[in-house]
């Protein structure tokens, strides 16, 4: 068996009937690309494999040991060369549904070496349930790859599948993690990536456009990158027939990398998976662009009647021109979009603000947000000091706290005064009163008061340095920071304990997904809560995925303060809408944070982008960029005090006490209302009756 990337190691998954060098199944304009035949050689087998994994992980431990024993070498004696336990009473082939398979005893002998099953699985005696489930996942991937090897007709593709089969088989025996070895190298394979190059292209060609037209280009860029990520490349042998003069050897290496790192991991999730656009660069794009462009446009024309009107115009009118302009830059020898320092030089003239179409935005701080690994940040941005500021060519003001007294725009500063406004001198006088404890009447409200805000205690703890807030996330582009990885593990544990109905594997996948970020709440160096979210800048909203605070730290205002920090973080990034699916226990919390069932984001903007949860309620929150949310309750409290003091001053000015009426004691039955002392001075009473 040659290592992948060697002279004979290349191929494409063609056994599922997927056309080579073709788009994945689904409309060209789909917001979330459909995954079918392009996802695996077996097509629907990917879903079946996922179902089998879930079923096997829920099985009793004895059944799991039996399954792992089949792939575990015998340890009864050193001379035994048996590399897997074989059932002496194998189930019928194909399995019969009406026969319930009994759990095999650990004393059951192996059909090959006659040693007991226990001798094959003795190394698993003290293994945790989590590790055992991981190994079982690899087992099912091995079985699926074995099927692919036998079904695949292309010899080179069969060879790669067989290499990955042996790699995963070895991982089960050694209880290790799969690492593709050989001459393929590790991703990313070329810089800048396709993703960054397209991003640079949009910046280079369309930065002068008005906002609405620029947004159209952003949509086209997203669409194009999605198609590449789910594009099924042609095999080297097919390419040799189509273009015999091309560099087939170089294409074969890139194609084998694509199989090992991008394609096969889509249906064998025990292998690390990467997005094609993030790990490959101009070389691969040049090799597929012409064919891809032709087939995309042909598919769009064929399916034009199925597309909604707005998508039809976008794809049939704007998309061909977009692809033609991009093609020039892809094949041009002097295009600046492929320069390593393109983003640095272009940032001096102002950013488009659309780099987040493809990659996460540079992490800005509101108060103490720490640097998370990001391809747009400086390599030395690992300083975790709460007051740290990240220098960046993209935004020179990252890390600065938004000041409450900072004007928001020139229009605000020139706003005309309304007739009847309270004089500013009076406001300043009242403010000096309510901020001076010695001048206040009665005890000052503190965080222990029944009238204090929910987040008052948390805000005071943050000022004292007891708690910190950091936005963290995983990265495929930089070496992970140890502290950030520890925090991510802590966040995964908090979410898993506080959200028991959510699968632990699902939580882990999202928390460590580079497309997701988490606002972590740190107390005494450990994670006690957080909000996991994914930003969709081009769509104008962020999805809140998980939100939790550890049980022994609840009812302290941390949840409210967390959400307020998240709101300020998004105002910094100009994303002013939150969406989330809240379960029945979380609806109350989100209502307190300003969420409602009245969704302000157009449905077309979020359908296909956010995860839909059965039995949950979709809620949204629209942010106001004029509000400093972390200080909002303090501001409201001061406003109430101002109004109260102004009322008291007004009352003191007009207050005069008159003696009561004594004429009725003398037998007078009625008097005119205007004769009542003080009644004429009241501006609120119209005199049209007589007092009795």
Distance CA 642, CA 429 (A): 10
How long is the chain? 692
- 482: which DSSP letter? H
Distance CA 402, CA 195 (A): 31
Q: How many of the other CB atoms lie within 10 Å of CB of 466?
A: 13
Q: Which residues are CB-neighbours of 338 under 8 A, at least 6 positions away? A: 192, 197, 200, 281, 282, 329
Residue 473 and residue 523 in contact, taking contact as beta carbons nearer than 8 Å: no
By DSSP bridging, strand 516-523 and strand 22-23 are unpaired
- 310 part of the active site: no
Of the candidates 266, 300, 288, 277, the residue with the CA atom closest to the CA atom of residue 43: 266
List 219, 462, 543, 568, catalytic entry:
543
Of the candidates 671, 675, 677, the residue with the CA atom closest to the CA atom of residue 692: 671
Q: HEC states along 539-574?
A: HCEEEEEEEEECHHHCCCCHHHHHHHHHHHHHHHCC
Distance CA 274, CA 180 (A): 13
What's the Cα-to-Cα distance from 221 to each of 226, 278, 343, rounded to whole Å?
9, 14, 17
CA within 13 Å, CB half, 502: 23
Query: What phi and psi, each to the nearest 5 degrees, are found at residue 528?
Result: -120, 0
Of the candidates 46, 56, 30, 17, the residue with the CA atom closest to the CA atom of residue 265: 46
Q: Which residues are CB-neighbours of 238 under 8 A, at least 6 positions away? A: 12, 20, 21
Q: Which residues are catalytic?
A: 543
């Amino acid at each position: 068996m040659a290592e992948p990337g060697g002279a004979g190691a290349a191929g494409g998954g063609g056994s599922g009937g997927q056309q080579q060098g073709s788009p994945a199944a689904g409309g060209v304009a789909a917001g979330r690309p459909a995954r079918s035949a392009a996802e695996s050689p077996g097509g629907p087998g990917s879903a079946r494999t996922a179902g089998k994994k879930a079923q096997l992980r829920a099985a009793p431990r004895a059944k799991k040991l039996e399954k792992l024993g089949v792939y575990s070498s015998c340890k009864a004696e050193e001379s035994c060369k048996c590399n897997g336990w074989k059932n002496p009473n194998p189930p019928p082939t194909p399995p019969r549904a009406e026969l319930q398979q009994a759990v095999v005893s650990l004393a059951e002998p192996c059909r090959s070496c006659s040693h007991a099953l226990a001798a094959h699985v003795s190394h698993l005696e003290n293994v945790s349930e989590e590790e055992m489930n991981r190994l079982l996942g690899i087992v099912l991937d091995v079985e699926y790859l074995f099927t692919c090897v036998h079904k695949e007709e292309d010899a080179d593709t069969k060879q790669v599948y067989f290499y990955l089969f042996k790699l995963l088989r070895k991982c089960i025996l050694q209880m290790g993690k799969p690492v593709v070895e050989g001459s393929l190298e590790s991703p990313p394979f070329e810089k800048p990536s396709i993703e960054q190059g397209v991003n640079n292209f949009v910046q280079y060609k369309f930065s002068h456009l008005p906002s609405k037209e620029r947004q159209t280009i952003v949509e086209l860029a997203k669409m194009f990158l999605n198609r590449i990520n789910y594009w099924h490349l042609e095999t080297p042998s097919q390419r040799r027939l189509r273009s015999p003069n091309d560099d087939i050897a170089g294409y074969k290496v890139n194609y084998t990398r694509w199989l090992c790192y991008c394609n096969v991991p889509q249906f064998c999730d025990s292998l690390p998976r990467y997005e094609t656009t993030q790990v490959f660069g101009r070389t691969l794009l040049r090799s597929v662009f012409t064919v891809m462009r032709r087939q995309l446009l042909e598919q769009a024309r064929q399916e034009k009647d199925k597309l909604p009107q707005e998508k039809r115009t976008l794809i049939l009118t704007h998309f061909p021109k977009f692809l033609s302009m991009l093609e020039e830059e892809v094949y041009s020898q002097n295009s600046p979009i492929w320069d390593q320092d393109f983003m640095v030089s272009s940032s001096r003239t102002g950013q488009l603000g659309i780099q987040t179409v493809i990659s996460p935005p540079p992490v800005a701080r509101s108060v103490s947000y720490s640097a998370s690994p990001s391809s747009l940040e400086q390599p030395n941005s690992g300083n975790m000091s709460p007051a740290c500021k990240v220098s960046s060519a993209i935004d020179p003001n990252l890390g600065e706290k938004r000041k409450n007294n900072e004007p928001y725009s020139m229009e605000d500063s020139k706003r005309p005064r309304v007739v009847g406004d309270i004089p500013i001198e009076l406001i300043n006088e009242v403010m000096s009163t309510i901020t001076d404890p010695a001048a206040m009447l009665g005890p000052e409200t503190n965080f222990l008061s029944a009238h204090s805000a929910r987040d008052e205690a948390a805000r005071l703890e943050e000022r004292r340095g007891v708690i910190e807030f950091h936005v963290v996330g995983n990265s495929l582009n930089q070496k992970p920071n140890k502290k950030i990885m520890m925090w991510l593990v802590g966040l995964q544990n908090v979410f898993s304990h506080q959200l028991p109905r959510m699968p632990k594997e699902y939580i882990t996948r999202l928390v460590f997904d580079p497309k997701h970020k988490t606002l972590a709440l740190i107390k005494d160096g450990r994670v006690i809560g957080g909000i996991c979210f994914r930003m969709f800048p081009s769509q104008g909203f962020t999805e809140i995925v998980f939100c939790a605070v550890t049980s022994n730290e609840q009812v302290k205002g941390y949840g409210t303060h967390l959400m307020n920090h998240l709101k300020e973080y998004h105002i910094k990034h100009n994303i002013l809408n939150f969406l989330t699916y809240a379960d029945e226990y979380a609806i109350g919390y989100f209502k307190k944070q300003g969420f409602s069932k009245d969704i302000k984001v157009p449905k077309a903007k979020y359908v296909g982008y956010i995860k839909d949860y059965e039995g949950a309620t979709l809620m949204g929150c629209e942010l106001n960029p004029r509000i400093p949310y972390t200080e909002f309750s303090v501001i409201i409290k001061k406003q109430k005090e101002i109004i109260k003091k102004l009322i008291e001053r007004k009352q003191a000015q007009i207050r005069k006490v008159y003696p009561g009426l004594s004429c009725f004691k003398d037998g007078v039955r009625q008097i005119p209302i205007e004769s009542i002392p003080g009644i004429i001075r009241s501006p609120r009473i119209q005199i049209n009756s007589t007092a009795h």
